[in-house]
Structure 1
């Protein structure tokens, strides 16, 4: 999605319409960033980001009130361009008659909220980043395992959905099966969710489509999840060198974010769901500073040094 209407913003947030309701379906937002028009109120328009939502807080409103009515109308009229999506007032501030007149003439809606300016900015930005950020569809299963978003990938038929089903039976939660829609929320965060048509559903070969919420309850599903760890399931091969100690960290890049990844070989007799649970716990331990591989290397180095002192050449 490359743009959303003001009506979309109103429908998905607690921001409310103050004036210009008839323009909410025609005015569109294409930028995720928000502008607080401080310099523009002084008459400086050389770098005016007209395509952004214009947010007025206590500071902007107080300065505007210090202007004469004529000057205030002139400046606000300059701010009303064909690209300007909307004006938003926080803290329950009522826009001036000049603002209402200028916006009405330019067919720009005015929105309002009782929340603080920072909170309003966060709400609008989070919504816009979610719907306007670049997206891609990834073949795999996304599961909430111990509060970590684990994206399970692998070739078709390797057992991704069956592994996820066992994780769900163990008390974990499904986010998306078969196809995961992924978008970048910020520089460090990827979020995955199910396409609308696949929400709460899983495909199990031999059974067909199952409704996870219906079978396991509402606690077995969630709508979206930050992707924290990627698990690649691979059919076991004697020729493949798999990680044995874990000294080397692997990552996969999705958009601009590097996500830690692990490859787990699959063969008869291996309980993959248990291994994924352990992988999630081990990842969390590493984030807290407890790295078993580093500890093993330190102990091995110490043992080598000790033996070299006991048996010098």
Structure 2
């Protein structure tokens, strides 16, 4: 499987970088590392554990150090850096590359660019963007909808009613992100973002009707290109006698790309309004993140009441 990549011209366009030097064909080259570094130690010759595949950024401190060197020393510093074939060197804070820098960049074919942004701001934004572009991905068969700002991933067997439930939610003012196939990307250590494959984006299949374009029928406000995965809801056929959770005290989770996501299992049978149930599930999930768990609060209240009944003298 090919390693995820982003083309260099996408980064240059996204961050409005000013190119000082760009060898032929470099804009189509691939960046595969999610890290962005300031090569401070490298400027003094320490290259142990250096990631040559990462974008390098020179800021105020590095600039001041380079200004204190004579031209021959600067040439040696940049030759050592560029011979590693880094994908891009960026000068932050509107600093300009020295003639020695450009000469070595041309010798080794390394693009050099500039930005007016502060160093830390540029690196933070670029790191975040690279995590979105290059994060590990997986595809799940399901439906992703946004309900009251919560991204809900609906899973379940074919014909269980995922798409029909999604349409009902859209009619109630919520938004569709993906139907049938959901591409999920890990963009940070705690965050998953879902989207639809480009080919089927904003389309949904309804048995008996066929394929419909949700954006055209319900308007632009009914769809969204991406959304966090905040809650997983598994839909399954109702089985008489099966002990379904009625209190919600136990915290169920599903692991996706090494991230644990809160999960619910909802039984489906005729007469249940799944759209309303999912609206409540979305609001309750947000409530839990804010530290309010109704099931635990009720359990604690019952426990305190039982203790009071067992020890009436202590509570007199």
The match for 2:252 is 250
Distance 1:149 1:16, change over 3 A: farther
Please give the residue correspondences for 1:1-313 in structure 2 after superposition, counting only pairs within 5 Å: 1-20=3-22, 22-25=24-27, 27-81=29-83, 83-309=85-311
Query: How far off is 1:310 after superposition?
Result: 6.0
Provide the aligned C-alpha RMSD in A: 1.7
CA distance in 1, matches of 2:13, 2:26: 11
Cα deviation, residue 85, structure 1: 0.5
Question: In the alignment, is the contact (CA less than 8 A) between 1:86 and 1:109 conserved in 2?
Answer: yes
Q: Which runs of 5+ in 1 are unaligned?
A: none
Greater than 6 Å deviation, 4+ residue runs: none
TM-score scaled by structure 1?
A: 0.94
Q: Secondary structure at the match of 1:22?
A: coil
Measure, in 2, the Cα distance between the counterparts of 1:224 and 1:150: 12
What runs of 5+ residues in structure 2 fail to find an aligned partner? none
Structure 1 residue 4: Cα displacement? 2.9
1:166 CA drift (Å): 0.8
Task: Please report how far the alpha carbon of residue 199 of structure 1 lies from its aligned counterpart in structure 2 after TM superposition.
Answer: 1.4
Shift of 1:10: 2.4
Sort the Cα spacing of 1:82 and 1:44 in 2 relative to 1 into closer, same or farther, 3 A: closer
TM-score by length of 2: 0.93
Offset of residue 198 of structure 1: 1.4
Give a deviation string over 1:151-207, Cα, whole Å, max 9, x none: 111111100011011111111111111111011111111111111111111111111
